[in-house]
Amino acid sequence: MALQAGIVGLPNVGKSTLFNAVSNSAKAQASNYRFCTIEPNVGLVDVPDERLAKLAELVQPNRIVPTQIEIVDIAGLVRGASKGEGLGNKFLGNIREVDAIIHVIRCFEDENVLREEGAINPVSDKEIIDAELQLKDLESVEKKISRVEKQAKFDVKAKAELEVLLRCKAHLEQGKSIRELDLNTAERPAIADLFLLTEKAVLYVANVDEPSMHTGNKYSEALKEAVKGENAQVIIMNNSIEAQISEMENPEDQQMFMEEYGMKEPALNRLIRSAYKLLNLQTYFTAGVQEVRAWTIHEGWRAPQAASVIHTDFEKGFIKAEVIAYNDFITYGSEAACREAGRLKIEGREYIVKDGDVMHFRFNV
């Protein structure tokens, strides 16, 4: 599943440095000037999951395959982007294509790093980007309203759609994002074709200085206070430190470096796991001698849908799924032992896959 999280933010807040740290692909250029990133860089990122390693210890497979998400580094936004300022239209188009947003916000002071918006103010920085996305969404909503208004006079379905669009318009005009508007399942189709920017889930990264990487600082606290009504998570990290860790190929060197900074794991691991959950994703596993592998699915998927990520034929010809709960697999140590203990269950089409399930599919094409 090629689901994407896009890294956004004002120029020079540490977006490309963060991308360099999380990406397993070629490094993005990180420089101290506007629009350093023009074409979005895309990198496939492994989702850290200690369960995969524990399963591999028991199964001893030929290879281990983690699940991944795509991280996209998008050009820095400037005030007026919704009207085409800077790389506005291109930037906003790139955001429209991602599934979720990782919003990097500068929470450090450094006179050597350019800043066009005056004194450090993470709340203001957040509001600049929010406003530009809201203005672009307002434009999209208003265009659709003009198309639907005539139909709504004689079409009941169009009338209901118009009511939703007018609610969205009023909400955006108040400077609020669509993800904060409580639309129900029946109402969401009215805006589904618009791919609204402010409907996307957001994870905030407070990029702090080294002394604040564990505790945060006044800037990160102000950011937390500003977003507390959004049901959003704020990850505190020092992007430069994370980039240095990621450049070390020797795990022992990484461990020594992290110990110097009092770190149990890279903050990036928390970020990637949070981004994964932000997309409402979960993992199931297949475990055999050839490979132990993690597979990405959406929360709430049934067994045939989960099987389809391995191969579409698995969904078409689905018969049954053999399911072992992760904790049972670890407790009993093998599929055979789980089967003998009655911990392997045979599930049908309606089974909703749980996070961590170890599965084997029976199918017939």
Average pLDDT over residues 202-230: 93
Q: Is the pLDDT of residue 157 over 80?
A: yes
The angle subtended at Cα 294 by Cα 292 and Cα 295, nearest 5°, is 135
**Contact of 217 with 209, CB cutoff 8 Å:** yes
Domains of the chain: 4-51+58-118+200-278 (3.40.50.300), 129-198 (1.10.150.300), 300-363 (3.10.20.30)
Using one digit for the tens of pLDDT, what is the confidence trace for 317-359? 999 999 999 999 999 999 999 999 999 999 999 999 999 999 9
Report the pLDDT value the prediction gives residue 70, as an integer from 0 to 100.
Answer: 84
143 burial via Cβ count (<10 Å: 0-12, 13-18, 19+): exposed
CB-based contacts of 269, cutoff 8 Å, min separation 6: 48
Using one digit for the tens of pLDDT, what is the confidence trace for 220-246? 999 999 998 787 889 999 999 998 998
Q: Is the pLDDT of residue 362 over 80?
A: yes
Please give the Cα distance from 241 to 267 (Å, whole number).
9
Please give the Cα distance from 317 to 178 (Å, whole number).
39
Binding residues for ATP: 12-17
Confidence of residue 27 (pLDDT cuts 50, 70, 90): very low
Q: Is 224 helix (H, G, I), strand (E, B) or coil?
A: helix
Binding residues: 12-17
Average pLDDT over residues 103-122: 80
Categorise residue 357: left if φ over 0, alpha if ψ from -120 to 50, beta otherwise.
Answer: beta
Phi then psi dihedrals of residue 71, to 5 deg: -110, 130
